[in-house]
Structure 1
Amino acid sequence: MSIAENLSQIQSGLQEHITLVAVSKTKPVETILEAYEAGQRVFGENKIQEMAQKWEQLPKDIEWHMIGHVQRNKVKYMVEFVSLIHGVDSLRLLIEINKQAKKHNRVIPCLLQTHIAEESTKFGLDEQELHEIISSETFTQLEHIQIKGLMGMATFTDDQNQIRKEFAHLKSIYDKVQGQLPQISILSMGMSGDYSIAIEEGSTMVRIGSSIFGARNYN
C-alpha cells in the first residue's frame, strides 16, 4: 500500500483524542512530503541535526517532535522550532532546554521519559526520580518549559502480556503525576508493533514509523 493508504488505515482506527506521530527518522524529504500531502502534520525524529535539516526544507506548519535521546549540547539546534520533546530524562536536561528556550522567548512542551521496560538499554526516569524532579524547587523555577505528560517504551518482546503490564504500569504512574501536575494531558506510548495494546491501556499519543513508511533504513 502507499503511504497515504497506510496513514488512512491507521487513522481510521484511532480515536479523535489520540495523536499520531509519524516517525520519519532516516526517511528522505520526498517521502515525508508524501505523508504531508496525505494530511499528516506531526512527525518524529530521533536525531536533532537531521530534524533541523528537514525543518529547513519542509512546510512550516509541520509539528516536529524529538523522540530520541537528547544530548544537552545539541538542544540549541532545535529550540527555535521543536513542538514537543519526548525524551526528557533528567533535571539537567530540563534546565538546558529552559536556558535555550529563554533565548528564543519560547516555552517548550516536554514529556518526561519514564523507564518501564526490563531492558537496561532504554533511557528514562524511575518513579522516585520523577517525583524528585517535579517536587524540586529548581523545577518550579523553569519558566520556559512546560511538562505536557509522560513517555515510555515497552520491552521489545513478543510477550503481549508483558507489554500490557508495562503500559498499565506507566498509566498508573501517569495518574499519580497528574495529581501533582494536573495540566498534563499526554501519555506517549506505543509504536508500530504494540500501539494497539498501548491505546487499550490509556495512550493518547502513538509513534508509528514502519507501518506508515515501510521498513526502516538503519544508519
Structure 2
Amino acid sequence: MSIAENILQIQTSIAAARERRRSSTGVCDNVKLVAVTKNQPLTAIEAALEAGISSIGENRVQEAKEKYAALEQKIEWHLIGHLQTNKVRQVVPFIDLIHSVDNEKLAAEIDRVASKYDKIQEVLIQVNVAGEETKYGIAPEGMISLAKSISLLKNMRLRGLMTIAPFFPDSEMTRPIFRTMYQLFSKLRAANLPNVQPDWLSMGMTQDYAVAIEEGANLVRVGTGIFGPRQ
C-alpha cells in the first residue's frame, strides 16, 4: 500500500480504538498521530505530509536538524529519542516537544538553553515503567519528584508523560504497562503542580498503538506502520 493508504488505515484503527475506550470508560481524548521518520528519505516524509500528517518525530538529533533544514512546510517537530545534555543547544531552537526528559540535569540544561532563545520549551517526562535496563527513562516512583523540579524552571513547561513499552509478539502483553502508565499520568494531573500542563500521554508505536489508546494514550508514535521498514 502507499503511504497515504497506510495513514488512512492507521487513522481508521485509531478511531476504532478510541471508540473501544469510550465504550469501556465513557471518555476518550482526541489522539495525535506523530509520524516517526527515522532513516526515512525526504520523499517519503513529503508524501506523508501531503496525506495529512502534521507532526514529525525523530530519534536522532543530527537527522532531525537535517530534515528540519530541508523541509519548508510548517510542521510540529517532536524529539522522541534519548537526548544528551551536550546536544540540547542543537534541538531547542526548533523542536516543539521533547519526549525524553528523565533527569534533573537534562531538565536544567534545557531550561538554560531555552532561556537564551526566550523560549518556553515543552517537554514530557520519559518513564521506564517496565524497568528495562536497555531503555532510558526515570523509574515510576521518581516521576513526581522530577515533575516538581521541572515545575520550578522558568523556561520549560511539562506537558505530560512518555513511555516505550517492551516489544512483545502479542500486543496484549503491553496492556499492564500502559495501564500503569495511565495511572501515573492521572497522578501527575492530580498533583496540580504549578507551571505543569499535563495534556499528553505519549505511548504506543506501530505494533501496540491500538492497545495504548484503549488504555488512555492520546499521542501515538508510528513509523513502520506509515512508511514500511526503515531504509
The question of a shared fold, defined as TM-score above 0.5 by the shorter chain, is answered with yes
Please point out which of 136, 140, 149 is paired with 2:160.
149
Q: Using the alignment, how far apart are the partners of 2:136 and 2:230 within structure 1? A: 21
* 2:13 corresponds to: 13
User: Larger deviation: 112-121 or 206-215?
Assistant: 112-121
What is the match of residue 39 of structure 1? 52
Aligned residues: 215
Q: Which amino acid aligns with 1:10?
A: I
Distance 2:211 2:202 in 1: 13
Question: Residue 113 of structure 2 corresponds to which residue in structure 1?
Answer: 100
Q: Which of structures 1 and 2 has the larger relative contact order (alpha carbons within 8 angstroms, sep 6+)?
A: 2
Equivalent position to 2:230, from 210, 216, 219: 216
Matched residue, 2:179 = 168
Higher mean displacement: 159-168 or 77-86: 159-168
The answer to whether the 8 Å contact 1:118/1:155 transfers is no
Question: Do the aligned partners of 2:128 and 2:135 also contact (CA within 8 Å) in 1?
Answer: yes
User: Alpha-carbon deviations, 1:58-87, whole Å to 9, x = none?
Assistant: 024111100000011011111111010011
Deviation at 1:31, TM superposition (A): 1.2
In structure 2, what is the Cα distance between the partners aligned to 1:195 and 1:44? 15
Determine if the alignment matches structure 1 residue 117 to structure 2 residue 125: no
Cα displacement (A) at 1:140: 3.7
The answer on whether the counterparts of 1:95 and 1:142 sit within 8 Å (CA) in structure 2 is yes
- Show the 5 A alignment for 1:122-201: 122-136=135-149, 139-181=150-192, 183-201=197-215
Structure 1 CA distance, aligned partners of 2:125 and 2:131? 18
1:49 maps to which residue?
62
Residues in 1 aligned to 2:171 and 2:47: alpha-carbon distance in whole angstroms: 32
**Match for residue 23 of structure 1?**
36
TM-score by length of 2: 0.89
Separation of aligned partners in 2, 1:201 and 1:26: 29
RMSD, matched Cα? 1.5
Q: TM-score, normalised by structure 1?
A: 0.93
What secondary structure sits across from 2:111 in the alignment? Answer: helix
Deviating more after overlay: 170-179 vs 11-20: 11-20
Aligned residue for 1:3?
3
Deviation at 1:128, TM superposition (A): 2.3
Unaligned runs of 5+ in 1: none
Q: Which residue of structure 2 aligns with residue 207 of structure 1?
A: 221
User: Do the aligned partners of 2:206 and 2:225 also contact (CA within 8 Å) in 1?
Assistant: yes
Unpaired runs of at least 5, structure 2: 16-28
1:48 is displaced (CA, Å) by 0.7
The 2-side partners of 1:163 and 1:72 are apart by 30
Name the amino acid aligned to 1:141.
L
Distance 1:191 1:181 in 2: 29
Q: Sequence identity, in percent? A: 41
Query: How many angstroms apart in 2 are the aligned matches of 1:85 and 1:120?
Result: 22
- Give the Cα separation in 2 of the matches to 1:59 and 1:133: 36
- For 2:140 and 2:132, locate their aligned partners in 1 and report how far apart those are by CA, in whole Å: 16
What is the rounded CA distance, in whole Å, between the counterparts of 1:96 and 1:189 in structure 2?
A: 25
How far the C-alpha of 1:112 sits from its partner, in A, is: 0.2
1:101 CA drift (Å): 0.8
